[in-house]
Amino acid sequence: MLHLSSLFHGRRRRWLYGLFSLILAFSIGLTNVIPAHAVSWFELLIRGAQIIQLSRISDQQEVELGSQINEELIKSGQAKIYPNRALTKYINNIGQQLARTSSRPNISYTFQVVDDRSINAFATMGGFVYINTGLILKADNEAELASVIGHEIGHIVGRHAIEQMRERAIAQGVLSTAGLDTSQAVQIGVELALTRRNSRQDELEADRFGLENLTKAGYAPSGMLGFMQKLLEAGGGSTPTFLSTHPATSERIELLEQSIDPKTANVGKGLDKQAYKSQIRHL
């Protein structure tokens, strides 16, 4: 005690008081559950720059956020990654080819297979794309599968998830003038990944980007139209999940028919059914 008190003199004393109160405040901050909308300036200070301005998010921040959403999706078991290296490598190869020829080739992309037999695919942000095993099985060839991946990349190119995150944060009253707290952004990102219903406008834009991307990567554009028509017909009373999260199907088909020249529809790679079957034989 005596020893310690001798330290509490002059500048040193003030400095130590400061340090102790900082440690105290920090431990209070850690043990108390503070409602996220009431995050204090002090907490923000010790957490560092963890507030995101969605309106001017940098590529690096977006990739980091996408990575944290990915971690949470996997950790919580909401996205169960299919544990097959060869298949993941195959899907990732297709995705990386498309990413390179997309209108947003400068960020890193991660393509993962989700162990889920429902026919669906989704993208979050910062290059994270997920394809269900059910959708891989539904496609008849690589061009069809690539068209879906291209469409999902289109959502990332159009930064659709960021805009939806902004809207959701406003609706939940958690967007402050300073921005959005990272942990809440991750939480909203996870919700959106699983339940998002894309707007008609976003769908049409993702199709436009996707078709352009598919063609540039050398795939036969017919894959996109073919797969979309197949989904619509597949219904049999139950709508494939992909169509409920990616609406406006008949309008999309119509626009694709107008955009694809029948003369060149089948020009390009990815139409070999047998080769595709062999690539996905692990499923």
| Closest CA relative to residue 82, chosen from 56, 116, 111, 54 | 116
* DSSP E strand stretches across the chain: 51-52, 110-114, 121-123, 128-132, 180-181
Catalytic residue ranges: 152, 207
Smallest distance, Zn ion to C-beta of residue 281, A: 28
Smallest distance, Zn ion to C-beta of residue 122, A: 8
Number of helices and strands in the chain (H, E): 14, 5
* Binding residues for Zn ion restricted to 131-160, rule: CB under 5 A: none
Strand partners, 110: 128
Contact predicate 133/116, CB 8 Å: yes
For Zn ion, the closer of residues 168 and 246 by Cβ is: 246
d(CA 195, CA 191): 6
For Zn ion, the closer of residues 43 and 152 by Cβ is: 152
Which residue, judged by CB position, is nearest to Zn ion in the bound state? 246
* Contacting residue, 246, 249, 270, 279, with Zn ion by CB under 5 A: 246
Smallest distance, Zn ion to C-beta of residue 112, A: 17
* Residue span binding Zn ion (CB under 5 A) among the ranges 4-12, 87-95, 203-211, 261-269: 203-211
Tell me the three state secondary structure of residue 2.
helix
| Closest CA relative to residue 196, chosen from 167, 225, 170, 164 | 164
Q: Should residue 206 be labelled a site residue for Zn ion when binding is judged by CB under 5 A?
A: yes
> CB count, 10 Å around CB of 124?
29
d(CA 59, CA 56): 9
For CA atoms 45, 173, 125, 186, the dihedral sign is positive
Binding mask 161-200 for Zn ion (x = CB under 5 A): -------------------------------------x--
* Residue span binding Zn ion (CB under 5 A) among the ranges 30-38, 101-109, 204-212, 250-258: 204-212
For Zn ion, the closer of residues 150 and 179 by Cβ is: 150
| Closest CA relative to residue 206, chosen from 161, 272, 260, 173 | 161
For Zn ion, the closer of residues 174 and 211 by Cβ is: 211
Smallest distance, Zn ion to C-beta of residue 203, A: 5
Binding mask 101-120 for Zn ion (x = CB under 5 A): --------------------
State the number of binding residues for Zn ion (CB under 5 A): 4
The distance in angstroms from the start CA to the end CA of the chain is 69
Smallest distance, Zn ion to C-beta of residue 160, A: 8
For Zn ion, the closer of residues 94 and 271 by Cβ is: 94
* Residue span binding Zn ion (CB under 5 A) among the ranges 43-51, 74-82, 132-140, 241-249: 241-249
Q: Should residue 39 be labelled a site residue for Zn ion when binding is judged by CB under 5 A?
A: no
Phi and psi (nearest 5°) for 266?
Answer: -100, 15
For Zn ion, the closer of residues 112 and 198 by Cβ is: 198
Smallest distance, Zn ion to C-beta of residue 205, A: 9
Scanning the structure block, which residue is given the tokens 């958690």? 174
Residues that bind Zn ion (CB under 5 A): 198, 203, 206, 246
